[in-house]
Amino acid sequence: MSTMADVAKEARVSVATVSRLLNNLGTVSPETAERVYAAISKLSYEPNLLARNLRKNESRVILLLAPNVTNPYYAHILSGIGDAAANLGYSALIFTTADDLSREREGLEMLKRHRVDGAILMASNLGGDWLLEYANQFPVVQCSEFDPSVDIPHVSIDNYQAAVQTMDYLLSLGHTRIAMVSSENQYLSTNLRLRGYRDTLATHGIEVREDYIAYAAPDYSFTSGKARTRDLMNVDPRPTAIFCISDTLALGAITAAREMGFRVPENVTVIGFDDVEDTTKFHPYITTVSQPCYELGRQSMQLLYSLMSQAKDVPHQVVLPHRLIVRESSAASPKLD
Amino acid sequence: MSTMADVAKEARVSVATVSRLLNNLGTVSPETAERVYAAISKLSYEPNLLARNLRKNESRVILLLAPNVTNPYYAHILSGIGDAAANLGYSALIFTTADDLSREREGLEMLKRHRVDGAILMASNLGGDWLLEYANQFPVVQCSEFDPSVDIPHVSIDNYQAAVQTMDYLLSLGHTRIAMVSSENQYLSTNLRLRGYRDTLATHGIEVREDYIAYAAPDYSFTSGKARTRDLMNVDPRPTAIFCISDTLALGAITAAREMGFRVPENVTVIGFDDVEDTTKFHPYITTVSQPCYELGRQSMQLLYSLMSQAKDVPHQVVLPHRLIVRESSAASPKLD
DNA sequence: ATATTGCATGTAATCGATTACAGTAATCGA
DNA sequence: TCGATTACTGTAATCGATTACATGCAATAT
């Protein structure tokens, strides 16, 4: 492995000249440049980023903090971040937390240790104050989930509006017995969707029945979607529509309903959330609220880049459009007894 | 941000002493140690990894080169690698190639530039010679796919045996009209599975019909699984079993068969490969060959670590066990006309 | 009493780039 | 023709750690 000094010697110039040439700083005569390039290719020189990074006091690496990478929702966000990062000359370091607080802290330590120049947090469990300590010192962006109590730049959709819109759609189909499969987690999105559900019912003068609200496992698992739907379908009177806060839960709901002998959507309407790819892999294709995952990731990276470049007028909040996609799992309410 | 020199000054010692204490090298008296620790916490000092890495000439980062992160197959491998890496004190840098050759090369450049200490390649398209140039200089491991023409350490399952075993199972169910949905890609796994299919038929004296072999898109997409299955089901005589080289293709096959009015498995058996989570999200649950994705990733990282630590007797090849999981999409062959 | 050993610590070189500063020669304007 | 630019290049400091080597001193061995 040859160094810049080797190249300089070979080309009979100083390291400063080599560096200037490579970085397009200052001026270098054409003849010198040629000699240097010849030396570089002869020695097949490649700059040592460890040295460059130390000198420039930057790593050109960003941290991606996510609960996991196997959930397609995160996978798509990561994909968007990764592409944007590559375009901007950054590498993406991935750090999974399994929703563990100490792991999250461990990840953020990398900022202090100069391993990364900035971080994008997905579904952080850290308290606002804790986060703020980092966000005040380093470029940090929250993607898709965020803590509303502190002012840290974030990118997300409007979860409240999305829920309201979905409920309006269900009401327009004539449903009045509408259940919800929420989750036990503490995410803002969960909260806002539930609030949208409650508020819309209230607005239309429909009683909010607590036994129509089920709480699935924090990770939106398929099996807990099945289990909670079983519970809901045993409530009297039975709901005619089930609004799930994730597609995986909706998948579980459909499977459970069918195993109980109900048809979807003829007997019961099921609606999901996220629109990850599973929604159109079997019938009935799932009616769902589509989130622009890739774009959420891409714009988070853009935002982080602005922060890292110390640009001014960096937006504190970016809200991307969601979309209700009507497919096969929703239909008009059946006649009530 | 304070440096080690700041700490040294605060504790009235030299930087060497601070460094020795932090790295457990040499000896430091208890009183001095206490002063240093006090200084560290007073200044909330964190070591600068940029400096350490330069001096030690290592980055403690490894490169993960994959076509994408959204395919759950890769996602699970990445998950295994990530966990193992974290345990071994390494961070994982993710680089997606979208199966583009120049992107792959770009990724590997990071080895030369000291951005990463080693690399794990998934489904590389690079020719063997090209790869060898890197593998000879740097720690490189191939995970799940590998080029048999060069001797680079790799971790995978035995794809040939897996296919043979699956075919034996189908034959034991009485099937003789067995079709295969393969792929146009050049992966070794694809090749070996196809060879296992052909060889097993030949061994049992069953004619290998080329019109029973369909080639799906290189990325195993759901839609191309549907399309190719439509073709196969129109061949005369119609196959009674379809062996797909991925679960996503099998999902497509089932959807296509049903849309054409066939029942799975009563009219046609469908078998997948990989056992990623979608296989049990709706009925019929898919009979498939399970790959230990997480473990493939974990062991790849272990192998890379051995390579990076210059351990001797590092295995050149690790073969992990696969498992045929019989679920609902396979059944005895229907009576033939 | 002297040599030897080990402990605790400090000084300074080092990793390989970037970059501030300085110097020399050629060119330009008046 | 002379001072002012401009073009090109080199020297050396710098980033912040690690670490080879040296030193002083006390304890032990001979």
Verify whether the Cβ–Cβ distance B109 to A46 is below 8 Å: yes
The count of CB pairs under 8 A between chains A and B is: 127
Report the b/e string of B102-126 with b at 16+ CB within 10 A.
ebbeebbebbbebbbbbbbbbbbbb
The per-residue pLDDT for A115 is 98
Spanning CA of B310 to C1' of C4, the rounded length in angstroms is: 38
Question: For residue A129, what pLDDT band results from cuts at 50, 70 and 90?
Answer: confident
**pLDDT tens-place string over residues B164-176:** 999 999 999 999 9
Q: Where are the alpha helices (DSSP H) in B138-186?
A: 159-172
Residue A84 to residues A78, A311, A318, B96, B315: CA-CA distances in angstroms? 10, 17, 16, 12, 37
Q: In this complex, which of A51, A79, A277 lies closest to B69 when CB atoms are compared?
A: A79
The DSSP call for residue A209 is -
In this complex, the answer to whether residue A1 has its CB under 7 A from any atom of chain C, a nucleic strand, is yes
Spanning CA of A61 to C1' of D14, the rounded length in angstroms is: 23
Question: Residue B96 is encoded by which pair of tokens?
Answer: 């997606």
Chain B within 8 Å of A53 (Cβ-Cβ)?
yes
Chain A within 8 Å of B53 (Cβ-Cβ)?
yes
Q: How far apart are CA B157 and CA B303, in angstroms?
A: 15
Question: Residue B79 is encoded by which pair of tokens?
Answer: 């998950």
Residues 5-44 of A with CB under 7 A from strand C: 5, 15-16, 19-20, 22-23, 25
Verify whether the Cβ–Cβ distance B283 to A258 is below 8 Å: yes
pLDDT at residue A271 greater than cutoff 80: yes
Chain B within 8 Å of A222 (Cβ-Cβ)?
yes
The gap from C-alpha A42 to its chain's centroid, in whole angstroms, comes to 45
Q: Where are the alpha helices (DSSP H) in chain B?
A: 4-11, 15-23, 30-43, 49-56, 72-87, 101-112, 128-137, 159-172, 188-203, 222-233, 247-259, 293-308
Q: How far apart are CA A316 and CA A224, in angstroms?
A: 36
Average pLDDT over chain B reads 95
Chain C positions with an atom below 7 A of a protein C-beta are 7-12, 14-21
Verify whether the Cβ–Cβ distance B75 to A79 is below 8 Å: no
Verify whether the Cβ–Cβ distance A114 to B251 is below 8 Å: no
**pLDDT tens-place string over residues B61-109:** 999 999 999 999 999 999 999 999 999 999 999 999 999 999 999 999 9
Residues in CB range of B232: below 8 A, 6 or more apart: B179, B181, B212, B214, B239, B242
Q: How far apart are CA A283 and CA A264, in angstroms?
A: 9
Q: How far apart are CA A242 and CA A255, in angstroms?
A: 13
Question: Looking at residues B151-172, what average pLDDT do you find?
Answer: 98
Chain A residues in contact with B77 (beta carbon < 8 A): none
Beta strands B140-143 and B61-66, pairing class: unpaired
Chain B within 8 Å of A72 (Cβ-Cβ)?
yes
Q: How far apart are CA B269 and CA B311, in angstroms?
A: 48
Residue B30: other Cβ atoms inside 10 A: 7
Q: How far apart are CA A147 and CA A157, in angstroms?
A: 14
Beta strands A91-96 and B91-96, pairing class: antiparallel
Chain B residues in contact with A47 (beta carbon < 8 A): 113
Q: In what order do the strands lie in the sheet with B241-244?
A: B213-216, B178-183, B241-244, B269-274, B287-290, B323-325
The per-residue pLDDT for A26 is 84
Residues in CB range of A335: below 8 A, 6 or more apart: none
Q: How far apart are CA B219 and CA A256, in angstroms?
A: 31
Angle between helices B101-112 and B128-137 (to 10 degrees): 10
Spanning CA of A41 to C1' of D4, the rounded length in angstroms is: 40
Proportion of chain A above pLDDT 70, given as a percent: 100
Chain B within 8 Å of A113 (Cβ-Cβ)?
yes
Chain B within 8 Å of A95 (Cβ-Cβ)?
yes
Q: Which residues pair with A241 in a beta bridge?
A: A178, A269
- With CA of A53 and C1' of each nucleotide, the nearest comes out as C17
Residue B242 to residues A138, B267, B331: CA-CA distances in angstroms? 54, 11, 12
Verdict on whether the full-model pTM lies above 0.75: yes
Verify whether the Cβ–Cβ distance B113 to A46 is below 8 Å: yes
Min Cα separation B106/chain A (Å): 11
**pLDDT tens-place string over residues B235-244:** 999 999 999 9
Q: In this complex, which of A68, A94, A113 lies closest to B92 when CB atoms are compared?
A: A94
**pLDDT tens-place string over residues B16-38:** 999 999 999 888 999 999 999 99
**What is the residue-wise DSSP string for B21-65?**
HHHT-S---HHHHHHHHHHHHHHT----HHHHHHHHT---EEEEE
Residue nearest to nucleotide C18 (CA to C1'): A55
For residue A39, the number of C-alpha atoms closer than 13 Å in the C-beta half-sphere is 24
Proportion of chain A above pLDDT 90, given as a percent: 91
Q: Which residues pair with B142 in a beta bridge?
A: B121, B154
Residue A147 to residues A131, A322, B6: CA-CA distances in angstroms? 9, 20, 35
**pLDDT tens-place string over residues B182-225:** 999 989 999 999 999 999 999 999 999 999 999 999 988 899 99
**pLDDT tens-place string over residues A68-95:** 999 999 999 999 999 999 999 999 999 9
